[in-house]
Structure 1
Amino acid sequence: MSFNENARLDSSRVSDRRGKGKGIAVGGGLGGGLILILSLIFGTDVMDGLGLSDGGPAGTGAGTSQSISECLDGADANERLDCRIVGTAQSLDSFWAPALATEGLTYTEPGVTLFTGRVDTGCGAATSAVGPFYCPADEQTYYDTAFFDELVAQYGASGGPLAQEYVVAHEFGHHVQNLTGVLGASAQDPRGADSAAVRTELQADCYAGMWAGAAAHIPAPGSAEPFLAELTATDVQDALSAASAIGDDRIQSMATGQVNPESWTHGSGDQRQAWFMQGYTNNDGGLGVCDTFSAADLGSPGA
């Protein structure tokens, strides 16, 4: 999904901590959902308790040669990943504020933090090993931008822009769940193919789809032009590629050669794709179209 080149970006929307972390980026981690669940159960410092904060000696995190203050418009977002995250966050804000208002809810903007190697959060200190994540304790989303290269190189996802934007939108989905009060359900039932944790993650995928389906039709604040241009079929396939690549079945098969649904926390690749499309094709139907908690069959959205 490309940005309209004249769309104005506000770089202050994103906190840039890249190059300031202690520790080394550790590949292979997609534990953001697990961190979210455990932080709801045990509170803050959950990542320290899991031993995910000792990533190596100080100064090993990669720096960045470009300042996020240079992210000025949609043309920059089309060229640079960090600028794309800035624009995606602003587009998500533009979608979720009115969407929640129609549900009688007030949207508050989640924090967006870029980091390398290691970062301190309201849920404790984390390394890149956990992948992108949302911390409900400080209501912030966190991204080591190196993850997006890993998504392609290690997990085989498309490198297209909507594949990247989908990841950001998924984490914003967790913030919406925090605002609606359903996020805590995952802590009560944190593992298994039919668990509340999986239903929570699939709902966040569905919310990402809702945004993707509507984003090109929502004007940016103070403008008649949306942040994002119309989706193409290739854009949609990029997002579905990312959803499939980080399904529990795909990750387990790559890691161990076996698939164990009893230990799932996010759902299968097919389920993640299906719920993204459920939101995408029903983006004007309200939050109820993403009611994974009432679905009798998680492989058949709306059932």
Structure 2
Amino acid sequence: MTFNDDVRADTSRVRRGGGKGIAVGGGAGLVALLVLLFTGQDISRFLPGGQQTAAPAQDFAHCVTGADANRYTDCRMVYTADALDQYWLAALPEQGGVQYREPTFQLFEGQVATGCGSATSAVGPFYCPPDESVYLDLGFFDQLETQLGAENAPLAQEYIVAHEWGHHIQNQLGTMATIDQRSTGPQSDGVRLELQADCYAGLWVGHAASVVDPDSGQTFLQPPTPEQIGDALDAAAAVGDDRIQAGAGQQVNPESWTHGSSEQRVRWFTTGYEQGTLAACDTFAAQQL
């Protein structure tokens, strides 16, 4: 989606620069990416030890307006976070009955220390429940296109961030605490959790063009075009378990799925986008995913 040129965002909202983390070699990194893509689980147990390093901190002084968000990926992350906050600030109390707490959002390079353990960019974007934080290495967006076959387009990027925000909403609603997140299979709790986060992402996309920036009084985003929605759907399909397994040269094995098939992920994003309510995203009540 396209941000309106004159909107403003709080650049202190997003942190940048890694803490101390562990270095991971290529083979282990690919496995971690396939296993942990878009997950809210404790990632530390999947990663080997290594040398600790620290990444230099950077700022967002160049992210002044919505026009900058349309031009620069890091600025787009700042503005997407602000737009997600403003949406859920109103929607979560109204539809979920709880007050919204902003998650921490950290962009990092290479490696980062989290409340779930140390992680590298190999694990992809993730949400850590203990510290209520979303972590993202911007290099993942290049991998989305070169390794997973989706267009590295603005709404594809925003969908990824909105999915991780969806995990934060699940954490606030208590969903994560009541299910078996380690179960696998096409009807498992783990898959239902991920598909619900996709649905929450679609829900935000459907409402995003009506969310007002309190600083400028304008809406953050312009309505998405059909082509932009297609970019988001392509990204959702690209991270389906069946697509990832087939792309890695493996036999497609539904019983090992942790995030759902391409078809499921596209369908639940579309459900959120078209129906527009938390209730419509109740994947745990759905008899068939």
Amino acid at match of 2:47: G
Pair 34,211 (structure 1): closer, same or farther in 2 beyond 3 Å? closer
Moved more, 188-197 or 76-85: 188-197
The aligned residue for residue 112 of structure 1 is 105
Amino acid at match of 1:130: V
Whether the 8 Å contact between 1:91 and 1:220 is mirrored in structure 2 is yes
Q: Distance in 2 between matches of 1:22 and 1:116?
A: 12
Pairwise CA distance, 1:238: 0.4
The aligned residue for residue 76 of structure 1 is 68
Q: Distance in 1 between matches of 2:263 and 2:147?
A: 19
Amino acid at match of 1:15: R
1:257 to 247, 250, 254: 250
Secondary structure of 1:120's match? strand
Amino acid at match of 1:86: V
The aligned residue for residue 280 of structure 2 is 289
Amino acid at match of 2:40: L
Deviations 1:130-176 (A, max 9, x none): 11000000000000100000000110101110000000000000000
Whether the 8 Å contact between 1:25 and 1:117 is mirrored in structure 2 is no
Amino acid at match of 2:66: G
Whether the 8 Å contact between 1:10 and 1:71 is mirrored in structure 2 is no
The aligned residue for residue 228 of structure 1 is 221
The aligned residue for residue 43 of structure 1 is none
1:9 equivalent to 2:5? Answer no
1:164 equivalent to 2:157? Answer yes
Amino acid at match of 1:206: C
Whether the 8 Å contact between 1:71 and 1:77 is mirrored in structure 2 is yes
Secondary structure of 2:156's match? helix
Pairwise CA distance, 1:18: 5.0
Secondary structure of 2:75's match? helix
Q: Distance in 2 between matches of 1:19 and 1:32?
A: 20
The aligned residue for residue 245 of structure 1 is 238
1:125 equivalent to 2:118? Answer yes
Q: Give TM-score, length-normalised by structure 2.
A: 0.91
Pairwise CA distance, 1:231: 0.6
Q: Distance in 2 between matches of 1:246 and 1:254?
A: 10
Secondary structure of 1:36's match? coil
Show structure 1 runs of 5+ residues with no match. Answer: 40-45, 299-303
Deviations 1:221-254 (A, max 9, x none): 2333111111100110000010000000000011
The aligned residue for residue 132 of structure 2 is 139
Deviations 1:39-88 (A, max 9, x none): 3xxxxxx50x322553x6747x7x79x74232111111111111101000
Whether the 8 Å contact between 1:117 and 1:144 is mirrored in structure 2 is yes
Q: Give TM-score, length-normalised by structure 1.
A: 0.87
Whether the 8 Å contact between 1:35 and 1:133 is mirrored in structure 2 is yes
Amino acid at match of 1:80: Y
1:198 to 191, 206, 222: 191
2:266 to 267, 273, 291: 273
Aligned-residue identity in percent: 50
1:51 to 41, 47, 50: 47
Secondary structure of 1:184's match? helix
Q: Distance in 2 between matches of 1:101 and 1:243?
A: 27
Pairwise CA distance, 1:219: 0.8
